Amino acid sequence: MSRLQRVAIWVDDYWAQMFVVLGTLFWSISGIQASVQHKGLGWLISTSYGKNLVLGLFFSLVGAIKLASLSPGQKTMEADVERLERELEARNKGYFKIIEDELYILSDVLGFGHNERISLYKHKGGAFVMLGRYSANLDYKRRGRVIYADDQGCAGRALRRGWVFVDDIPNNEIEYFEVLRKDWNIPLEIAQKLVMKSRTIAAYPIVNSERNGRAVIVFESSQERGFSEIKVLEVMSDGEDKRISFLLEKISEIEPSPQYAEDEGY
Tell me the pLDDT of the chain (266 aa) as tens digits: 577 766 565 556 655 666 666 666 665 565 555 555 555 556 556 666 566 666 666 666 666 666 656 555 555 555 555 654 454 454 556 678 888 999 999 999 999 999 999 999 988 878 898 888 999 999 999 877 778 888 889 998 998 888 999 999 999 999 999 999 999 999 999 999 899 999 999 999 998 766 555 899 999 999 999 999 999 999 999 989 988 988 888 877 666 555 555 555 54
Tell me what pLDDT residue 254 has: 61
Three state DSSP letters for 150-203 = CCCHHHHHHHHHCCEEECCCCCCHHHHHHHHHHHHCCCHHHHCCCCCCCCEEEE
The percent helix, strand, coil of the chain (3-state, each to 5) is 60, 15, 25
Tell me what pLDDT residue 216 has: 94
Tell me what pLDDT residue 90 has: 46
Nearest to 93 by CA among 48, 131, 56: 131
Helix 74-110 / helix 241-250 crossing angle, nearest 10 deg: 180
Tell me what pLDDT residue 249 has: 84
Nearest to 141 by CA among 85, 220, 72, 81: 220
In total, the chain counts a number of residues equal to: 266
CB 232 within 8 Å of CB 131 = no
Nearest to 203 by CA among 225, 226, 219: 219
Domains and their CATH numbers in the chain: 3-71 (no CATH), 86-264 (3.30.450.40)
Q: Tell me how far apart the alpha carbons of residues 200 and 154 are, in angstroms, rounded to a whole number.
A: 11
The residues facing 220 across adjacent strands are 117, 201
Q: Tell me how far apart the alpha carbons of residues 202 and 194 are, in angstroms, rounded to a whole number.
A: 17
Helix 3-39 / helix 74-110 crossing angle, nearest 10 deg: 140
The residues facing 219 across adjacent strands are 118, 202
Could you tell me the pTM of the whole model?
Answer: 0.65
Q: Tell me how far apart the alpha carbons of residues 18 and 10 are, in angstroms, rounded to a whole number.
A: 10
Tell me what pLDDT residue 214 has: 80
**Burial (CB count <10 Å: 0-12, 13-18, 19+), residue 240:** buried
